[in-house]
Every structure is written in structure tokens, then in C-alpha cells.
Chain A
Amino acid sequence: MRIVVPMKAVPDLVEEIEITADGTGIDREYLKFVLNEWDDQALEEALLVKEATGAEVVALGLGSDPDIDASLYTAIAKGADRAVRLTGAGEVPDTATRARAVAGYLRDHPADLVITGVQAPDDLDGQLPATLGALLGHPHVSVVVSVALVTDPPEPPAVRVRQEFAGGRAAELVVDLPAVIGLQAARQAPRYAPISRIRQVMAAGGIEQVDPGLAPGSATGASGLAVRRMHAPEKTSHAQMLTGSADEVAGQIVDLLRSRGLVKG
């Protein structure tokens, strides 16, 4: 069994985000990029499936993503068997182009299971799992919190997944392979790889480069969409900020609660 985990670098949301001068994009120049946290969850779940079944895990990144190599090497250090970097999708590919690049790769190098993060917080979120499913003609399920290979009976090959809804409700589904899963959270917190091990892997190199050629079709039609303007949300309201030393702020908070009868005395 072959599991592919697409990974994406996204701006670190703790950083200040600047809009470009023309107002239609974000200024990427000074942004710090980190691995999408949900991709780390997806990789963890894939590694758990590997441990249970001996599956091969392939970490997949887009060459144009800043610092993606570090994430791919880390994936190998954690237990992925191979890492692949896709070339040729352009500098800052839009969602549709990205999806078609990943779909193009998967068409030439089929996977039994694709586990993506449920969403990436940067652009129009959460589209890749469903887009890939539709482009490849595979069943797909998103907002999943566990994936296990069905071993009883072994035919046809399938996974059992748990899909989450609001209020902690969930459904257990059996999905025939090949399938695409959007992962919300792995069964356990993502593992760490020791820095020394990551360094070793980096020194050995070995990220495979593949130019996938774009899969045909206008994925999500997103390419036709014109972003007119980006802006920070207009603050219809903003918190009144409490300042001073920690003790002074604590005093103000206690007073606020006391004035509402929430603190006695």
C-alpha cells in the first residue's frame, strides 16, 4: 500500500501580515513560513497506518513553497519512506494550479491513499482533499480524526475513518481505496524528530524532483476568480485594552467581574 501526504508551507499566523501595495495579495517577502499544522497531523496519521500495515509513506511538497525541503526532510526523519518535490507549478500557484499539479503527480504515480491536512489557513481553505477526489475520481472524506486499514475481509481494500461533526458527533465510514482523506487531527499528537536525526537526513539528501505536468480540467474554477481587494477585517468592535503591570491588569479584571456580581466580596 502506498500513502501520499501532500505538505504545504504557510505563513506563520503569529507574524504581522502585510497587504501588497495593489491591495490584492499578501506581501510574502518578509513572512516566515511554517509547515501547515494539519499536514503534520496528516503525516502522523499516515505513519500510524504505516506502523500497523507496513505501508509506504511518501511526503509530497511543491517546489515553490518556501522552506518546504526542511519539512520534507523532517518527514523522512519521522519515518516517511520517501520525499518528492514537485516542480513546474510556477512561483505562487493558485489553488487550482496547485491541485492540478498534485493530481498530475498522482495520476502518474498512483497512491492507494492520499491523506492531506483538512485545510491550510492561508488561502481559500480546505479545498484540496475534495478537489483531488473530484479530479482523480476517488471517494473523499474530510474532517477525519482516524484512519485504519480494514483487514476483515481484505477484499476490496478499504479504510475505516472517523468523520467529525459539530458538538463532538462523529460517523464511522468504510471507504474503498483508492481514496482521499482530509485529516483534522491524528489519533495521537504528532511525533518529534530529534534535530540530530533531521540533520543526518538532510546531509544524505535524496528528495526526488518530479515535474508532474498539470492534470487537465479547471479545478474549482478558482483560476477565473479575481481577488479585488484584501484587507484586515474592519473592526466593528475591538476589545478595550487593559494595561499596566500583570498585577494591575489582574486587579482590573477582578473589578470587572465583581461589578457584574461574578466575584463575591
Chain B
Amino acid sequence: MSSNVMVLVEAEAGGVTDATVELIGKARELATAWGGAVEAVVLGPGEVGTGLGGADTVVRVEHPGLATYLPEAYENTLAELLVTRSPRLLMLANSTVGLDLGAALAVAWDAELVAYVVGLQTEGTTAVATAQILGGKILAEVGMAAERGVVTVVPGSFPAALGRVAGEPELVTVDAPGSLGSLRMRLERLVTPEGGDVDITAAPMLVSVGRGVGSADNIELAQEMADYLGATVSSSRPVVDAGWMPKSRQVGKSGLTVTPRAYLAFGISGAPEHLEGMRDSELIIACNTDENAPIFDVAHYGTTTDLFELLPALTGRLGG
């Protein structure tokens, strides 16, 4: 066992993701406390990209089969790296990749796993993780005392600034495992997001509806108010899954990230996956009949008025 902290690097068109830079910043802090190094793992061929200055070592596996994310290929490669490089802790973003790999690697590597981590500290050789449970309504503090651990971290939990530092990490290139030649899954095609009629990321004001609106028909109430306000209607994920709104209007982890001048949320509970996509809006006003809804922890203003009363009242006030 070493005292190193390993981070899986995720990249998108613009380079290394913010979530990765946040992980590297936190890894730096943990590795310093433990007297170890930060190892950033980059899978696939091509440019390494900037943004990894906070790492001591960049471990590369250049196999073409890793060029795009493929769950089994990534899992097999990381499983081998964990055994050969033996870090103290593996950090993944709690993204699709984290959901695929976190638990599977914990089983394969016989390590402790904490998912949905929003806080991470050291206490001697123990890592103390704070994780969201119950849809973000409760936090659980867990001591990870074993020799090996895996955490999947909610994006936005740690400041990116700590990871965005200049540095010249040492480059280590490692061979891919032979098993990449005999995978039981293959990528058929990548799907780019379907363009919508409007771009919610460009709208200065969003009226966003959640499952609390109850039915497709009721969205009319929000649309009418938004029209008087000159705002665009967006929504949470379940509203899209139910077919009440098109996918292009979805705010959150698996939808779009928005930062409008005003975000008005109606009947949205504020699950971590939703907050991820809107918490940096300039002004957030939330309407939810549950006074304990997590949305009120990020909103600037809130009300427990029933949305079916508030929306028509707003429309009235705006001249409707």
C-alpha cells in the first residue's frame, strides 16, 4: 500500500472537466497529509490536455480501445492499475463513469466505497468521507479506515481553484491489459444531443417546473406566466421522462447546466442531480409546499405557497 491518491481524468471537448480539476485539488490536500503523491490517470490516445498541473504523475494508457468511454474497457484497465500502482484512495467523479466503475472496482480491488461524497478529510491514515443520502436530505459521515478506498464525488463539492495550479507532472506510460481484446461490449455509435427549439442555457430567465406540476396539462400555467415575464420554461428530469417536456429543456446532471439571471423553480425538490445544473444562477426563487425541500438550501428566496395558486397569482400581477 502507498499513500498515493489516484484520480481518473475525464475530458470533454474543451479539455479536462471541472469535476476532474476539483478532484485533483482535493487529492493534493489528502496526498500532502498522507505524505503521498497525486496520480492522474489518463486513458486513451491523443493529447493529455492542460489542467493536470496539480498532479505529481500522469499515468497514461494509450490504447485506441480507450479513446471513448467504454465501461468494461475502463473497468479492466483501472482494475489492473489499482493492483500494480496500489494507491491508498481512488477518486472518481460521481458521473455516469463513477456510477459504472465505483462499485465494480471496489469489489474487484476489495476496497471500501463511499458514493455521493461531498466532503473528504484525513484523520491520521483514515479518510473521513461525508456523503449525501436520501436524495440529499441527510448527510452521513463515514470513516474509511481500510487500506484501500474508492470514493465517487459529487461535482461542485470542492473548489476547482486548488486543482488549477501550474506544474510539470511526470509522465508514465503503461500498457493496456490484454483483456481489452476480448470485451463483452462494444461501442456502436455516439449520440449527440438533439437540438431543441430554444437554448435554455442562453435564456436570461427560466421558469422551471418539476414533478410537483402533476401533469402535462398543468405546464400551461407555467408557460402562461413565463410568457408574461418574458422567460423560457425549463424543467427537472422526471418531467422530461414523463414526456411532458422535450429533453432539450432539462436542467441538471444529465441535462444542461444553466446560469440565468433568474431561475424560478416550481415543484422541484432540489435533488443533488438537479442542483448540479442550476445552483450558480444569479437569483434563485423556489416554490415548494415542503418546507424541508433541499431546493431551499440553494434558493435565495422561497415560498411554501401551492404552485397552483402562485402561478396564476404571478400571471395576474404581471398583467394577465
Q: Which residues of A contact B (CB under 8 A)?
A: 11, 13-14, 16-17, 19, 26, 37, 41, 118-119, 121-131, 133-135, 139-143, 160, 162-176, 179, 182, 184-186, 188-189, 217-222, 224-233, 235-243, 246-247, 249-254, 256-257, 260, 262-263
Of B134, B146, B187, B310, which one neighbours A249 at CB under 8 angstroms? B310
Q: Is the CB of B99 within 8 A of A143?
A: yes
Q: Among the listed B190, B262, B297, which residue makes an inter-chain contact with A171, where contact means beta carbons less than 8 Å apart?
A: B190
Q: Is B143 touching A225 in the complex (CB atoms < 8 A)?
A: yes
A131–B150 CA distance with the chains assembled, in angstroms? 13
Residue B220 lies at the interface, judged by CB distance under 8 Å to chain A: no
Residue of A26, A134, A241 touching B138 (CB-CB under 8 A) = A26
User: What A residues does B296 contact at CB under 8 A?
Assistant: 238-239, 241
Q: Is A126 touching B106 in the complex (CB atoms < 8 A)?
A: no
Pair A222/B112 contact, Cβ less than 8 Å: yes
Of all chain B residues, the one with the shortest Cβ separation from A118 is B99
CB atoms of B286 and A239 under 8 A apart: yes
Q: Is the CB of B193 within 8 A of A169?
A: yes
Residues of A within 8 A of B312 (CB): 246
B135 within 8 A of A: yes
Complex contact B68–A246 (CB within 8 A): no
The reply to whether B138 and A13 contact each other, CB–CB distance below 8 Å, is no
A41/B241 contact (C-beta < 8 A), A230-B141, A240-B302 known: yes
B146 A224 Cβ-Cβ under 8 A? yes
- In the assembled complex, the Cα of A172 lies from the Cα of B135 at a distance in Å of 28
Chain B residue numbers with a CB within 8 Å of A142 are 71, 96, 99-100
**A174 CA to B41 CA in the complex, in Å?**
26
Query: Total interface residues on B, using CB and 8 Å?
Result: 100
CA A163 – CA B101 in complex, angstroms? 14
**A249 lies within 8 A of B303 (CB):** yes
Given contacts A225-B143, A250-B314, contact A262 B190 (CB under 8 A): no
Distance in angstroms between the alpha carbons of A40 and B50 in the assembled complex: 42
A163, A189, A246, A256: the one within 8 Å of B313 (CB): A246
Contact in complex: A165, B96 (CB < 8 Å): yes
User: Known interface pairs A26-B134, A130-B99, A130-B102. Does A174 touch B141 (Cβ–Cβ under 8 Å)?
Assistant: no
Shortest Cβ distance from residue B90 to the other chain A in the assembled complex, whole angstroms: 12
Q: A263–B254 contact, CB under 8 A?
A: no
Contacting pair A124 B313 (CB below 8 A) = no
B97 to chain A minimum Cβ distance, whole angstroms, is 8
| CB of B194 within 8 Å of the partner chain | yes
Chain B residues near A235: list those with CB within 8 A: 297
Cα A212 to Cα B160 with chains together (Å):
46
Look across to chain A and name the residue whose beta carbon is closest to the beta carbon of B314.
Answer: A250
Beta-carbon contact of B103 and A134 below 8 Å: yes
A124-B100 in contact given A16-B292, A249-B303, A260-B283 (Cβ < 8 Å):
no
The reply to whether A219 and B285 form a contact with Cβ atoms under 8 Å apart is no
Q: List 8 A-B contacts (CB under 8 A).
A: A127-B115, A131-B103, A165-B96, A166-B253, A173-B188, A240-B300, A247-B313, A262-B205
Task: Tell me the residues in window 184-208 of chain B with beta carbons closer than 8 Å to chain A beta carbons.
Answer: 184-194, 204-205
- Give the Cβ gap from A94 to chain B, nearest Cβ, in Å: 12
Q: Write the nearest CB–CB distance from A41 to chain B, whole angstroms.
A: 7
A169 contact from B104, B192, B269, B313, Cβ within 8 A: B192
Q: Assess the B108–A134 pair: CB atoms within 8 A.
A: yes
Interchain CB contact (< 8 A) of A174 among B69, B186, B286: B186
In the complex where A160-B188, A169-B193, A253-B314 touch, is A241 in contact with B303 (Cβ < 8 A)? yes
With the chains together, A179 CA to B184 CA distance in Å?
Answer: 9
Contacting residues, chain A, for B144 (C-beta < 8 A): 225
Q: Is the CB of B229 within 8 A of A127?
A: no
A182 touches which one: B99, B107, B140 (CB < 8 A)?
B99
Rank and list the top 5 A-B pairs by shortest CB-CB distance, nearest first: A168-B193, A239-B302, A134-B107, A250-B313, A246-B309
Q: Which residues of B contact A171 (CB under 8 A)?
A: 68-69, 187-191
Chain B residue at minimal CB-CB distance from A246: B309
Chain A residues positioned under 8 Å from B284 (CB to CB):
239
What mask results when residues 143 to 170 of chain B are scored 1 for a CB within 8 Å of chain A, else 0?
1111010000000000000000000000
The answer to whether B318 and A254 have CB atoms under 8 Å apart is yes
CA distance A164 to B247 in the complex (A): 12
The chain B residue with its CB closest to the CB of A255 is B317
A-B contact sample (20 more), CB < 8 A, given A221-B106, A262-B204: A119-B99, A124-B115, A127-B115, A130-B100, A131-B107, A134-B108, A140-B71, A140-B104, A166-B95, A168-B255, A168-B256, A170-B190, A173-B185, A222-B113, A240-B300, A241-B301, A247-B317, A250-B314, A253-B285, A263-B229
